[in-house]
């Protein structure tokens, strides 16, 4: 008997996946209530049922808006987890807002709700990882997937082929390669023909996906292929070689003035990403301020007892889009240089007080910047803000320096946890710091932010 493969697309499971994802969140919530507050099932059954219903409704809305199920079968696991975390932040923020608005937040266990919002995305990410690892072999052997061909045989084409082979769960099967050279264009991926033969092959073999991995300069061939494929129902994906753009940020498609444009540079915090980032800042900074407020009171008292002058001072820095803003700090010097022009502090600066030296050594003078996070001028994670004068000096001779300002500045950042913090002694130090800032903006995710926050705390990365 011949082996039969199922003709199926992973997208068929999407409705069930939505139900499973929301059900997992409700399950985690109820289990935690059973562990930490079992009496709620009898004394507050109505309130608990309302919490479940609202969480489910917010979850369905948030998971759809954030795009958790947009190409979920073929998406990278990190990108999908990033969307899941953003959606759960949306749900958590919605619960907080509704609880505050209707004055019922005290009815519910904050410990249970917070724990559920942390465990829910962890459970979903684990589930997706397991599916990709252990269900891939089943799909490779039993699922035909969507038939695809690749136009091109270079490094980009090979990387596409490798990804498809490594991710059978994506439901794609590469049928053939085509290139402008002879049929033996590649030893690893032999071509089925030249590019001129591609449209006929698509029609005869009912190809569903066409991946164009061709140079952007080959405009005539691209137009010819598009014209030849007009009489097919194949979906066409163009993978241009973007390596010529050193500081590419974005890569998405936008529609401007009725025209389609490839976004070569944009802030990673547009749209829902911006919402997720803001929710992250509000929730995390709010929790941190509650925890550190007693220490901040002690620091304020220490400043008043050891030197004359105010507890706080504000200093001008460049923020989002290069707009100046005033950053909050604990005063560590005998003088207040709060204008645009000032002399940066050095390691043994005589202007620094003895108590201020202790604060600066442990970066405790930075704690008031959590108020900047709350007012929206800073984020918890992002490129560290430099003094205005420093910006004006370095932007003239450090390539890509101003790219860091497409994001809000942060209290900590990727450069800081990699050792580039404190006093800048050479141009090379600044170049390294900027390269980490750009890397952060190119690869941002909520998980990356959380990793930087934990590394800052547990590896004492905040210390100078």
Which among 134, 166, 148, 140 has a CA at the least distance from the CA of 3?
140
CB 173 within 8 A of CB 144: yes
Residue 298 reports pLDDT greater than 90: yes
Residue 198 above 90 pLDDT? yes
Cite the beta strand spans of 239-295 per DSSP E.
Answer: 253-256, 259-262
Residue 5: per-residue pLDDT: 47
In this predicted structure, the answer to whether residue 342 has a pLDDT above a threshold of 60 is no
Among 450, 461, 362, 386, residue whose Cα is nearest residue 418: 461
Residue 252, both tokens: 């998405």
pLDDT of residue 402 exceeding 70: yes
pLDDT reported for residue 56: 93
Q: What is the pLDDT of residues 154-185, one digit of tens each?
A: 788 888 888 888 777 677 888 989 987 655 55
CA distance 172 to 237: 13
Rounded Cα distance, 146 and 118, in Å: 36
What was the pLDDT predicted at 251? 61
Reading the block at residue 279, the tokens are: 């929710």
What percentage of the chain has pLDDT greater than the value 90? 22
Confidence class for position 59, pLDDT limits 50, 70, 90: very high
- How far is residue 190's CA from residue 211's CA, in Å, rounded to a whole number? 16
Alpha helices in 67-135 (DSSP H): 77-101, 110-134
pLDDT digits (tens, 9 = 90+) for 361-394: 888 888 999 999 999 999 999 999 988 888 888 8
Angle 446-329-458 (CA atoms, 0-180°, nearest 5)? 45
d(CA 333, CA 95) in angstroms, rounded, equals 43
d(CA 70, CA 50): 29
**193, 201 Cβ separation under 8 angstroms:** yes
Torsion sign across C-alpha atoms 49, 54, 57, 59: negative
pLDDT of residue 7 exceeding 50, the answer is: no
pLDDT by residue (tens digit) across 217-272? 778 888 899 989 988 888 888 887 665 566 666 666 666 555 566 676 778 887 77
Compute the distance between CA of residue 231 and CA of residue 317 in angstroms, rounded to an integer: 57
Residue 279: pLDDT above 70? yes
Beta bridge partners of 172: 146
Instruction: For residue 306, give both structure tokens.
Output: 């050891």
pLDDT at site 122: 92
* The residue count for the chain: 464
Q: Cβ(197)–Cβ(178) under 8 Å?
A: yes
Kindly report, residue by residue over 410-434, the tens digit of the pLDDT: 999 999 898 887 677 788 888 899 9
pLDDT for 213 equals: 86
Higher-scoring residue by pLDDT: 296, 322 = 296
Phi-psi region of 179 (alpha: psi -120 to 50; beta: other; left: phi over 0): beta
Q: What is the pLDDT of residue 389?
A: 81
397: tokens are: 């001779």
450 backbone φψ class: left, alpha, beta (φ>0; ψ -120 to 50):
alpha
- The structural domains of the chain, with segments of one domain joined by +, span 10-137, 145-241, 271-458
Provide the mean pLDDT of the chain: 81
Mean pLDDT of 59-82: 75
Q: pTM of the full predicted structure?
A: 0.64
Question: Which single residue is written with the structure tokens 């604990």?
Answer: 330
pLDDT at position 9 over 60:
no
Lowest-pLDDT range of 108-122, 131-145, 377-391:
131-145
Residue 57 clears pLDDT 70, i.e. is over it: yes
Q: Does the pLDDT at position 12 exceed 80?
A: no
Q: Do strands 209-212 and 235-238 pair parallel, antiparallel, or not at all (unpaired)?
A: parallel
Task: Identify the CATH assignment for 145-241 out of 3.90.1170.50, 1.10.10.10, 3.40.50.720, 3.10.20.520.
Answer: 3.40.50.720
Contacts of 77 (CB under 8 A, 6+ apart): 125, 128, 129, 132
pLDDT for 410: 94
Q: Is the pLDDT of residue 325 over 50?
A: yes
Beta pairing class for 146-151 and 172-179: parallel
| Average pLDDT estimate for 303-314 | 87
Among the residue ranges 195-199, 298-302, 419-423, the one predicted with the least confidence is 419-423
Coil/strand/helix, residue 203:
helix
Quote the CA–CA distance of 108 and 24 in Å, as a whole number: 20
Handedness of CA 210, 214, 216, 221 (dihedral sign): negative
């Amino acid at each position: 008997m011949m082996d039969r493969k199922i003709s199926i697309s992973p997208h068929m499971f999407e409705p069930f996946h939505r139900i499973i994802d929301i059900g997992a969140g409700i399950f985690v919530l109820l289990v935690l209530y059973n562990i930490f507050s079992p009496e709620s099932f009898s004394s507050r059954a109505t309130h608990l049922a309302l919490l479940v219903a609202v969480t489910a409704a917010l979850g369905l809305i948030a998971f759809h808006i954030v795009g958790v199920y947009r190409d979920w079968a073929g998406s990278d696991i990190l990108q999908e987890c990033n969307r899941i975390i953003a959606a759960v932040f949306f749900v958590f923020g919605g619960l907080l807002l509704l609880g505050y608005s209707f004055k019922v937040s005290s009815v519910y266990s904050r410990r249970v709700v917070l724990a559920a919002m942390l465990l829910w995305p962890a459970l979903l990410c684990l589930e997706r990882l397991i599916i990709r690892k252990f269900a891939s072999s089943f799909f490779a052997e039993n699922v035909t997937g969507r038939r695809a061909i690749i136009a091109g045989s270079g490094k980009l084409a090979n990387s596409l082929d490798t990804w498809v082979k490594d991710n059978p769960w994506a439901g794609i099967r590469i049928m053939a390669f085509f290139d402008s050279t002879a049929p033996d264009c590649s030893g690893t991926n032999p071509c089925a023909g030249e590019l001129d033969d591609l449209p006929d092959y698509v029609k005869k073999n009912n190809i569903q996906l066409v991946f164009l991995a061709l140079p952007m300069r080959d405009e005539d061939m691209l137009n010819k292929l598009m014209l030849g494929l007009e009489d097919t129902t194949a979906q066409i994906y163009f993978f241009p070689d973007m390596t010529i753009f050193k500081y590419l940020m974005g890569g998405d498609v936008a529609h401007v003035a009725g025209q389609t444009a490839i976004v070569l540079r944009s802030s990673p915090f547009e749209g829902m990403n911006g919402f997720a980032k803001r929710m992250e800042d509000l929730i995390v900074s709010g929790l941190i301020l509650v925890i550190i407020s007693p220490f901040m009171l002690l620091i304020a008292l220490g400043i008043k007892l050891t030197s004359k002058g105010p507890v706080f001072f504000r200093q001008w820095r460049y923020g989002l889009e290069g707009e100046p803003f005033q950053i909050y700090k604990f005063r560590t010097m005998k003088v207040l240089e709060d204008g645009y022009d000032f002399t940066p502090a050095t390691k043994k600066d005589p202007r620094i007080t003895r108590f201020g030296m202790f604060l600066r050594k442990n970066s405790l003078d930075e704690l008031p910047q959590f108020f900047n996070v709350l007012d929206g001028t800073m984020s918890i994670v992002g490129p560290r803000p430099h003094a205005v004068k420093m910006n004006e000096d370095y932007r003239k001779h450090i390539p890509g320096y101003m790219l860091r300002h497409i994001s809000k500045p942060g209290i900590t950042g990727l450069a800081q946890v990699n050792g580039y913090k404190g006093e800048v002694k050479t141009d090379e130090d600044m170049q390294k710091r900027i390269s980490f800032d750009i890397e952060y903006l190119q690869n941002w995710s909520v998980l990356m932010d959380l990793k930087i926050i934990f590394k800052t705390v547990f590896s004492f990365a905040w210390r100078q």
